[in-house]
Every structure is written in C-alpha cells, then in structure tokens.
C-alpha cells in the first residue's frame, strides 16, 4: 500500500508521437475541497483509503504541486459529432497527468477534468461544474459496480471558482482513471490531418498495451481493428442489458479499448422505453437507447475509414461483419443471466437458446406495452422465480397477460437453483436514476454531500439487500423526476 506522496507516474502516451500532445499546467481552483472520494478506485492506485486525507487529495490533484513524475499534457483528437465531422476537438478541459503501474501490473492513466484552459479549449473555459462532475463520478463508479467496462472516478472537488454557464455555478474537478483514454477520435485526427505516418505509432501502442494477441498476426492492424470492433460491440451489449443510454455517442466519445467514456447527459432507464432519449440536445433521437447498437456500428464504420490507411478494405469489411454477432452473443448471454434462463451460446443447445431469446423478447414487449419499470421488473422476476408465483411481478405487469408467459418461463427455467442464484446476482436492487443523481446534486450545491455519499454507498453493492436507510434509493421516480432536462451544457 502506498500514500499519495509515494505515487510515481510515467508518461508513455506522450512518447507515442509529439503530434498528439501539448504540455499544459493545471490551473488550480480557488479554495478546493473534496466533495467525494472512491476508496474502490483508490485501490487501483495501491492507495490505502485509511491513509488518505482530504488535504492530501487537494495537494495531489487540486493545486499546482504535481505528483512525482507527472508531466501533464492535453491530447488532440477530432470526431464525428451527431454525424458530421468536426476537424479539431481535443482535451479542452482535461489533462493527462501520467500513468501509474500498480502492484498487479495494471497501468492506470490519471486525468483531471475541469483543470482549466488548454490549446484545445476552443471557446470553452476549460472548467467543469458540480452537477456534471457529480453525474460522471456517480455513473463511473456505479457502472464499475455493475461490471460494465468503464473509466473510473477517484475523487471530485468543489471550489470557490465561479463558472459561467446558464447561471454562475461552482467550479468542480474530477480525477478520472482509465487504462487508456485513447478515443476513436485520436485516430480520426491523424487520418484527416493527413499525418498518416503517426497512425502505426498509435496502433502499435494500442497493440502492445491492450491487444497483444494480434501482435503476431500477418495483418496486425486489420486484426487490431477487428478486436476493437468486437470489444466495442460487447460494451454496447452491456449498456443495452443494464439499461444505460450514453446520450452523446460521437466518435470522440468512443474508447479505443472498449470502456464507457465521457459521461454527459446520459440516462438509465426508469420505465422500459426503447425510444428513450436522455439528452435534450439530441432532437432527432440519433442516440436514443434502442439506437445505440446501430449508431455505434456507424462509429466503427467511421473508424474503418481511418484504417483504410493501414489495411485492406476487404479486411475491414470482414472485421465489421463481426460486430453484430459479437453484440448478439454478449447481449443474449447477459440477458439470459438477468432472467435466470439457460444459455449455451448455441454450442450444444441451439433450440434451448432460442427459447430463452423468445421469452426475453416477449417479456420486454410486455414491459414496453405496460410502461413497466426496467430495474424493478427484473428484480421482481427474481422474487417471482424464487416463490414460484406471479405475485411479486404484479406491481409492474398485469397478471392476466403475464400468466401464459410465466408458465413457459418456469418450465424453461426448470427450477434450476444455479440459474436462480445467477439471476439474483445479475439484477441490481437500485439504479442510478436521473432523479437520484438530481437529489445528490441539489444537496451538493448547498454544500451537503451526504446524499451523494449515501447514494454512492448503495450503488457500490447494487445486488445487496438494502439497509433501512437505503431503501428509498430503490424507488421509481416521483412525478418531478420522470423527464428531467439534460443537455450537453456541463
């Protein structure tokens, strides 16, 4: 175990190519204070949570005294935003401090988000506000607890720095961790600025670090692209199963290593509504919940254009054809687990898998029709299976319409205790609903971080029985919390 003073960073991303980074010093916030801290994320940096103090966190991340070895840089990327190409984006308010290798040999990059202007800030102020920072903190850590690949959040700070948005808000800072922050957009930047000589350098770095299995391939870049496509497809399958809508699936928000990246106006499903659009700036529903698998494939096609500089079109087409099966396989497997139904990946029991898929489809159709709550319905199904009774589901779905389905469901599950145990550990008892994040934000804006802390505590073990004072976090949204307005402003 280490203390913050003993953390030593390396800066391998900066060595890939000078084309991708610019040195930038963080601009400290006025009177920063710790608003939240994740002990679970701290363990990724070998930090002993008991040794960590608020003053230590402030010193390490919110002043101009940098961690040993840190050489902060902003990175440049571009991307397709809502379908149109934007030639230059980049870390407009983020800084990469460096990378830490932990005692398990895992490497974690540390980024500050909200640390001031960079060469890529365009018209922005380089700052982040409390509400968006809290939302990113909560979502990163909640998704990790649901075993969804994601960036992590170590801590967040509030401050006395005023930040102008629609009104004046409190400047905040997030410390984000990820094995890598490389985006599709980093590749797109090099490709569209015709700096193709640097593309193999970026690709080789990814292969060395994250896709070593393709290093010996006769066409390593084709194989790399294929692996990226498959990883991305599996990530989206996780989102569709947990009921997560990212909100802004531009290619600059797509991770090259298949983790959820850049939490902005995202939303988790309350009622099961496939057309759910979390982001009010998304007027056409390009990034609606049910559109995600297709639009992410679109993003992979955009990345394929870059890879035409590295491999053949035939190889890229072949790689893209792996998206759909990878998505379907992961989705079917994870969804079968949520429902406690058998799944063998078509290997031995194709008919049985098809019956599982049919039952899942039928359940989702009923849920959509009756506006059933996504999280609570699956949780009720756990109880219904356990009790061999429709009763627990009745708060969500009418018994008359469910009876036939439930009979076939029971028969297909066959009273299998292992499947029931699997579904019990695959279904959260609470979800990071928008209204819960909103309650945490409103309290934090009054300098009360207890709601944030309590909510995060419950989200850390989402499958566990809730204590008496956590019960209220499982409730569906009250009227005011059903259609909260979330835009790209952050």
- Comparing CB distances to Mg ion, the nearer of 61 and 266 is 266
- Comparing CB distances to Mg ion, the nearer of 135 and 379 is 135
Q: Which of residues 121-180 bind Mg ion (CB under 5 A)?
A: none
- Comparing CB distances to ligand AMP, the nearer of 93 and 131 is 93
Distance between CA 364 and CA 264 in Å, rounded? Answer: 27
Contacts to ligand AMP by CB under 6 A: 89-93, 121, 124-127, 248, 253, 262, 264, 488
For residue 103, count CB atoms less than 10 angstroms from its CB and return exposed for 0-12, middle for 13-18, buried for 19 or more. exposed
User: Residues for the chain: how many in total?
Assistant: 490
- Find which of Mg ion, ligand AMP, none residue 89 binds, CB within 5 to 8 Å per kind: ligand AMP
Whole-number CA gyration radius for the chain: 23
- Comparing CB distances to ligand AMP, the nearer of 120 and 272 is 120
Min dist CB 111 to ligand AMP, Å, is: 11
- Comparing CB distances to Mg ion, the nearer of 46 and 109 is 109
Min dist CB 252 to Mg ion, Å, is: 5
Q: Would residue 412 be called left, alpha or beta, if left means φ above 0 and alpha means ψ between -120 and 50 degrees?
A: alpha
Min dist CB 55 to ligand AMP, Å, is: 27
Min dist CB 19 to ligand AMP, Å, is: 17
Min dist CB 125 to ligand AMP, Å, is: 5
Residues 10, 48, 64, 252: which is the catalytic one? 252
- Is 416 among the residues known to form the active site? no
Question: How many angstroms separate the most distant Cα atoms in the chain?
Answer: 65
- Find which of ligand AMP, Mg ion, none residue 56 binds, CB within 5 to 8 Å per kind: none
Its sign, for the CA torsion 87, 93, 99, 102, is: negative
22 bridge partner residues: 74
- Comparing CB distances to Mg ion, the nearer of 253 and 299 is 253
Closest CA to 227 of 333, 235, 196, 262: 235
Min dist CB 365 to ligand AMP, Å, is: 34
- Comparing CB distances to Mg ion, the nearer of 110 and 451 is 110
Angle 242-40-459 (CA atoms, 0-180°, nearest 5)?
35
Q: Which of residues 235-294 bind Mg ion (CB under 5 A)?
A: 253, 262
Q: The tokens of 214 are what?
A: 């393709």
Angle 65-68-74 (CA atoms, 0-180°, nearest 5)?
70
Min dist CB 92 to Mg ion, Å, is: 9
Hey, which residues are catalytic here? 252
Binding site for Mg ion (CB under 5 A): 253, 262
């Amino acid at each position: 175990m280490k203390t913050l003073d003993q953390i030593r960073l390396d800066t391998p991303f900066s060595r890939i190519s000078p084309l991708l980074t610019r040195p930038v010093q963080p601009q400290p916030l006025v009177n920063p204070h710790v608003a939240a801290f994740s002990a679970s994320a701290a363990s990724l940096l070998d930090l002993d949570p008991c040794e960590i103090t608020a003053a230590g966190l402030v010193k390490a991340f919110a002043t101009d005294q940098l961690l040993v070895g840190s050489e902060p840089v902003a990175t440049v990327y571009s991307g397709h935003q809502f379908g149109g190409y934007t030639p230059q984006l980049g870390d407009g308010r983020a800084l990469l401090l460096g990378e830490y290798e932990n005692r398990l040999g895992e490497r974690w990059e540390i980024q500050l988000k909200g640390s001031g202007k960079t060469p890529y800030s365009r018209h922005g102020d380089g700052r982040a506000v409390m509400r968006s920072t809290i939302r990113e903190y909560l979502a990163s850590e909640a998704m990790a607890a649901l075993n969804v690949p994601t960036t992590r959040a170590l801590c967040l700070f509030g401050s006395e720095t005023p930040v102008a948005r629609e009104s004046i808000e409190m400047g905040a800072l997030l410390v984000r961790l990820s094995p890598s922050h490389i985006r599709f957009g980093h590749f797109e930047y090099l490709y569209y600025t015709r700096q193709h000589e640097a593309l193999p350098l970026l690709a080789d770095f990814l292969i060395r670090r994250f896709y070593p299995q393709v290093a010996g391939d006769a066409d390593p870049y084709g194989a790399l692209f294929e692996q990226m496509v498959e990883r991305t497809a599996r990530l989206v399958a996780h989102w569709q199963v947990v009921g997560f809508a990212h909100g802004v699936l531009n290619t600059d928000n797509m991770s090259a290593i298949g983790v959820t990246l850049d939490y902005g106006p995202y939303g988790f499903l309350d009622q099961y509504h496939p057309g759910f659009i979390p982001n009010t700036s998304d007027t056409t529903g390009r990034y609606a919940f049910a559109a995600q698998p297709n639009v992410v494939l679109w993003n992979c096609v955009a990345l394929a254009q870059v890879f035409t500089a590295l491999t053949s079109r035939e190889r890229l087409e072949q790689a893209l054809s792996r998206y759909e099966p990878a998505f379907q396989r992961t989705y079917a497997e994870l969804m079968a687990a949520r429902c406690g139904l058998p799944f063998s990946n078509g290997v031995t029991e194709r008919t049985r898998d098809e019956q599982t898929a049919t039952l899942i489809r039928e359940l989702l159709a009923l849920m959509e029709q009756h506006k059933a709550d996504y999280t609570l319905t699956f949780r009720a199904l756990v109880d219904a299976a356990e009790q061999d009774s429709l009763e627990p589901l009745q708060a969500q779905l009418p018994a008359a319409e469910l009876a036939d389905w439930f009979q076939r469901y029971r028969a297909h599950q066959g009273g299998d205790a292992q499947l029931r145990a699997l579904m019990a550990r695959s279904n959260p008892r609470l979800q990071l609903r928008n209204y819960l994040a909103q309650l945490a934000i409103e309290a934090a804006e009054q300098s009360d971080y207890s709601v944030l802390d309590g909510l995060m505590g419950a989200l850390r073990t989402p499958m566990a029985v809730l204590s008496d004072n956590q019960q209220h976090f499982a409730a569906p949204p009250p009227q005011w919390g059903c259609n909260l307005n979330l835009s790209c402003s952050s």
